[in-house]
Structures are given as C-alpha cells and as structure tokens.
Amino acid sequence: MMPRRRIPSRPGLQHPNQKNGGMEVFKNGVGTKVITGTSGQVLTVGSDGVPAFATASAVASTKVTIYTTGTGTFTTDTKCLFALVEVVGGGGGSGGAGASATEEIASAGGGGGEYGWGWFTAAQLGTSQSYAVGAGGSAGVYSTPTNGGTGGTSSLGTLVTAVGGSGSATKFNSSAIAPTAGGAGGTGGTGGDGHVAGQAGFPNIGGFGAGSGSSQGGRGGSSGCGWGHGGSGAILDAIGTAGQVYGGGAGGSADDDNTGRNGAAGAAGIVKITEFLKA
C-alpha cells in the first residue's frame, strides 16, 4: 500500500474565475469582465445577459388587482418589483335534456376551466399588459338541440393564458338515455410557470322510463386548483346548477315526461395580479 501524500496548502489560492476579490464572468465561453459586489448585494442579470451585483430592494407592500369580466388594460404600478399572475379559464356550460313522454333523460356536467400562474419581474410586465377574462360557457338548449358552450380563455397579454372547459352534450329522446361523459376540463394554456387542468364534468345517470326516478344530471367539473366548484346535477324535471366562480363547470339538467329542460351556464374565469412593491 502506498503512503498517502500530503498536498501542501497554497496561500492566496483562489478560484480560477476569481480576480482581485471579484468574479470573472463569461458569455458564450469568452471572458467579458470582472464583477465585484459588496455585503448585502445580490447577483442579477443585465439586459446583455451578463451577471452583475446590485443592491436588493426590500418589499414594502403588496397590491392585488382582480378582473372578473371582459377585457381591458392592466397598468403596472411604478413601484412594482415583481408580481405573481394567476389566471383561470371559464367553465363549460351543460347541455339540455329533452325526454319523450315515456322517458327520463339527463345531461352530463360541463368541464372546469384551467388554472395557470407565473412570476414576472417589473421589466417583464412592462408599463402595461392587456387582459382578458374567459366567459362561462353558455347553457345548452334542448329544443334546438344545442350543446353547452365552451368556456373562454383567460390571459394577461402573452405572459400566461388558461383555457376554458368544454361544454357537455344536449341529450334528446330515446337515443340519448345512456350515460355520456361530461365536458373536458380546460387544458393547453401557455406561458407562465405552470398550469393545472380543469376537472372534467361528471357523466349523467340515464333514465329507464317515465316515473322511474333514475334520471340525474352530472355534476360540473371544478376549475384547476379548486378556484371554482362545479354546479350540481339536477334530478328529474329541473335545470342543473350553474358553475361556481371562478371557472366551475355547470351541472347537467334532467327531464321527465316530455317537459324539456335547457342546460346551465358555466362560471366566468378570473385574472389576478399580485404586485410586490418597494417603498
């Protein structure tokens, strides 16, 4: 066995990238400059993509802006350091139900809207961003028949988007007695740091003849992360419950003895911006 060798210490030994108390940084493998900092500073990245030390700005307060309908322009606070942006797509509407005189028929629930979020610096937000809140999907119509509508997409510019849930099908007469799947949950949003898909609507319970008491609409799907719950499905002759804010899918409707019931509407989504402000 060979004896271990002691490697003598070398006074003043420093990392090859350290220069005179600072740090030599590289861009695309080429040394560009030596950066130095002082106690309490943080390392940031400049517009040229090269790190630099800067004094950290303390967060003094927060400011929350919420939009629950329509479109418009969000203006970034002049004291904003960074912000958390959260968006939820609109919930899907439920289909209608139209039975014959000897049937019970119900529709499935609409899908919940997607949830998306992202952290952004003041520079990424810019002075302003356009916003859009996804509307809830429309109620289905049994007499047409028209399916429940798809919920709209919510967004803050192109920074982050969240897709609305799909509507469920209108059930009409004997060919539609069997249970069917609910509307799909919203998914496919872009940007931001992450997304959670909306929950799919629940299937209906089909009927087996007038007066059997077996027909029930499916419950609507909840939006991603539970921002809005799905509406309840109706039993017998009733319209399902509308989706709950924000982004919940509508509950399915039920019909007995040829009355005919329209569906219910999904809930609108939301755009929420939480700004962290300096003093």
For the chain, 279 residues long, give each residue's pLDDT as a single digit of tens: 444 544 444 444 344 444 445 555 545 555 556 667 777 676 676 656 667 766 666 888 999 999 999 999 999 999 999 999 999 999 999 999 987 777 788 999 999 999 999 999 999 999 999 999 999 999 999 988 899 999 999 999 999 999 999 999 998 765 556 788 999 999 999 999 999 999 999 999 865 555 555 788 999 999 999 999 999 999 878 999 999 999 999 999 998 877 889 999 999 999 999 999 998
Q: Is there a single domain that holds both residue 39 and residue 128?
A: no
**Is residue 224 one of the residues assigned to a domain?**
yes
- Separation between Cα atoms, residue 29 and residue 242, nearest integer Å: 58
Q: Which residues pair with 42 in a beta bridge?
A: 54
Alpha carbon of 199 to those of 76, 128, 171, 218: distances in Å? 32, 32, 21, 13
Q: Is there a single domain that holds both residue 146 and residue 252?
A: yes
Q: Residue 102 has what pLDDT?
A: 73
Q: Is there a single domain that holds both residue 68 and residue 205?
A: yes
Q: Residue 208 has what pLDDT?
A: 55
Q: What is the DSSP letter of 57?
A: P
Q: Residue 273 has what pLDDT?
A: 98
Q: Is there a single domain that holds both residue 200 and residue 269?
A: yes
**Is residue 12 one of the residues assigned to a domain?**
no
Q: Residue 129 has what pLDDT?
A: 98
Residue 36 identity = T
**Is residue 80 one of the residues assigned to a domain?**
yes
**Is residue 181 one of the residues assigned to a domain?**
yes
Q: Is there a single domain that holds both residue 270 and residue 225?
A: yes
Structural domain of residue 188, as residue ranges? 59-279
Q: Is there a single domain that holds both residue 107 and residue 146?
A: yes
| Closest by Cα among 90, 68, 158, 145 to 118 | 158
Residue 253 identity = S
Q: Is there a single domain that holds both residue 219 and residue 257?
A: yes
**Is residue 2 one of the residues assigned to a domain?**
no
Q: Is there a single domain that holds both residue 135 and residue 163?
A: yes
**Is residue 274 one of the residues assigned to a domain?**
yes
**Is residue 4 one of the residues assigned to a domain?**
no
Q: Is there a single domain that holds both residue 219 and residue 118?
A: yes
Last residue of a domain, one of 55, 73, 105: 55
Q: Is there a single domain that holds both residue 159 and residue 103?
A: yes
Q: Is there a single domain that holds both residue 95 and residue 28?
A: no
**Is residue 7 one of the residues assigned to a domain?**
no
Q: Residue 13 has what pLDDT?
A: 39
- Separation between Cα atoms, residue 222 and residue 201, nearest integer Å: 8
Q: Residue 110 has what pLDDT?
A: 98
Q: How many structural domains does the chain have?
A: 2
Q: Is there a single domain that holds both residue 230 and residue 156?
A: yes
- Separation between Cα atoms, residue 153 and residue 133, nearest integer Å: 7
Q: Residue 108 has what pLDDT?
A: 96
